[in-house]
A and B are shown apart, each in its own frame.
Chain A
């Protein structure tokens, strides 16, 4: 372990922000000060105060509790999206990069087609066919993320496949699958790590956008994006309703992008 001070400044700030965010998310899974869907008529659009530290929304629901739940939802959706993108992207990229040939040509053309299709549009196609909901958004965003990861992994595999250590492993009779997953894949991890983090950020932003449009997480389930969309109606009387969910999205994304920058600099 390196000393904490030896890391770049942006990495340290990013680590602190991300740490706090993750802590809040974990707390939100197990405990919220109020029931996030319980309505309280006496507290409609209450200002931030001691009882409700972020105030209440138009139904009198505690904004802080909803923000905690919403962050959890956003986090899980972004995580699932990135997992789909990384796992499928790695498999596609590894095989096409390692073997090359016609399979590579065909899959890369397919890749280009998916890559050219904007991810929000893909999500809208999914939603209009299968209906709204978070699982459809996860699937659509996940698919939209595959090509960029596949390209990165493929590039790495092309770099490594003709290296001497790979050749000698092949001569020693190691199977291709073992070379791909045991000998080459670990070498691509450092490159993957920062793109995974950037991908995670894009997923957070995309999910927030979808839920803002009302096609992601469905009410009464909380999501940072859908809270912003509701908050807009009450922007003049209760700006705090919009500020806190927005701030949380910014902090989540900021923390991760600082971390990613820090990793790249090292």
Chain B
């Protein structure tokens, strides 16, 4: 419990610092919000009036805390470009990006767990060596290039999906999912390769330990030892990797959305950057960072449940 409490405090401090740094970074940009909204050809008087109205003349800290308080309540400010609340712009796109990350994550777990154990059990055999070679190559393929390759093979040659096509989850949920399958494969493949390699290594290392021999000598069969003892310990480093991966997948989907032309959070972020629509950029970045940090916190907690040896003191 003490461990969880300490991690919780650390998480809150990290969240606070990141929101502060991002707000600060966008505050010191030359050219303020009033200028961005009215354009460079407006009069100084009108600029001053809008600054007053937007509250830009108030001290920095005061504005930061107001922004933070609104942010926590779900009010992310108003977009310069579209003049609509940022929350409304994001809310319909967020499920798309989150769904992509979750599907990719599920793919990774479902494929890498059996494959990792299988290669470990057959280590040194031809099939293991073959899988490991493929694995090593997969680890070197950038996910967006994988996306392009998948588009070419399955979209243009085999015509299994329409490249650039997309159906919103509001119109047809299952067709929406079907359009996400290939983007998710592109995100998941390099991560599958990584976790197969880690799980295989960790299983082999664990299976060579003394307690495994003891378990065998007590009359357990291979399967029993593998699932009851080895896998449990071998999973610990893999869980850490998976935790970091979930965050990676969320961020990675920013790029993959461009490859497959999916209108998710990444698209909003990139167009807002090119329009210098700072309230949107700020909100999306803090939001993604917050999801990443909260995920890491959950992983730390799960990690401790999986491995009770971890505590506050022993680091």
* Interfacial residues, chain A to chain B (CB-CB below 8 A): 10, 109, 112-113, 116-118, 120-121, 124-125, 127-129, 201, 205, 208-209, 212-213, 215, 228-229, 231-232, 235-236, 239, 242, 246, 249-251, 253-254, 257-258
Q: A120-B251, A254-B136 are in contact. Are A228 and B144 (CB under 8 A)?
A: yes
Picked from A112, A231, A253, A258, the residue with its CB within 8 Å of the CB of B148 is A231
Is there an interface contact between A113 and B137, defined as CB atoms closer than 8 Å?
no
The residues of A that contact B136 with a CB separation of less than 8 Å are 10, 254, 257-258
Query: Is B304 in the interface zone, CB < 8 Å from A?
Result: no
Task: Name the residue of chain B whose CB is nearest to the CB of A232.
Answer: B148
Cβ contact within 8 Å between A116 and B259: no
Which residues from B are CB-within-8-Å of A112? 10, 14
Q: Which residues of the partner chain A approach B285 to less than 8 Å between Cβ atoms?
A: 121, 124-125
Q: Known: A118-B292, A124-B285. Is A239-B137 also a contact (CB below 8 A)?
A: no
Q: Knowing that A118-B247, A208-B144, A212-B258 are A-B contacts, what are 17 other residue pairs whose CB atoms are under 8 Å apart, sorted by A's residue number?
A: A112-B14, A116-B14, A116-B293, A120-B255, A121-B288, A121-B289, A128-B278, A129-B29, A208-B142, A212-B255, A213-B255, A215-B273, A235-B156, A242-B148, A253-B139, A254-B140, A258-B136
Chain A to chain B contacts (Cβ below 8 Å), 18 pairs: A10-B136, A112-B14, A113-B17, A116-B18, A118-B251, A121-B251, A121-B288, A125-B281, A128-B278, A129-B25, A212-B144, A213-B255, A215-B273, A228-B144, A235-B163, A239-B152, A249-B140, A250-B141
- The answer to whether the Cβ of B145 comes within 8 Å of any Cβ in the partner chain is yes
Cα–Cα distance between A207 and B285 once the two chains are bound (Å): 19
Interface of A is mostly: helix
A116 to B276, CA, bound (A): 25
Chain B interface helix/strand/loop/mixed = helix
> A120 vs B313: C-alpha distance in the bound complex, in angstroms?
33
Q: Which residue of A lies closest to B29 (CB)?
A: A129
The answer to whether A125 touches B259, judged by C-beta atoms less than 8 angstroms apart, is: no
Interface residues of B in 122-151 (CB under 8 A from A): 136-137, 139-142, 144-145, 148-149, 151
Complex Cα gap A235–B136 (Å): 26
Q: B33-77 interface mask toward A, CB cutoff 8 Å, 1 = contact, 0 = none?
A: 000000000000000000000000000000000000000000000
Task: Find chain B residues with CB under 8 A from A246 CB.
Answer: 141-142, 145, 148-149
Taking CB atoms, residues of chain B closer than 8 Å to A209 are 142, 144, 255
| Contact yes or no, B251 A254, CB < 8 A | no
Find chain A residues with CB under 8 A from B281 CB. Answer: 124-125, 128
- A253→B137 CA distance, assembly (Å): 9
Chain B hits for A129, CB < 8 A: 25-26, 29
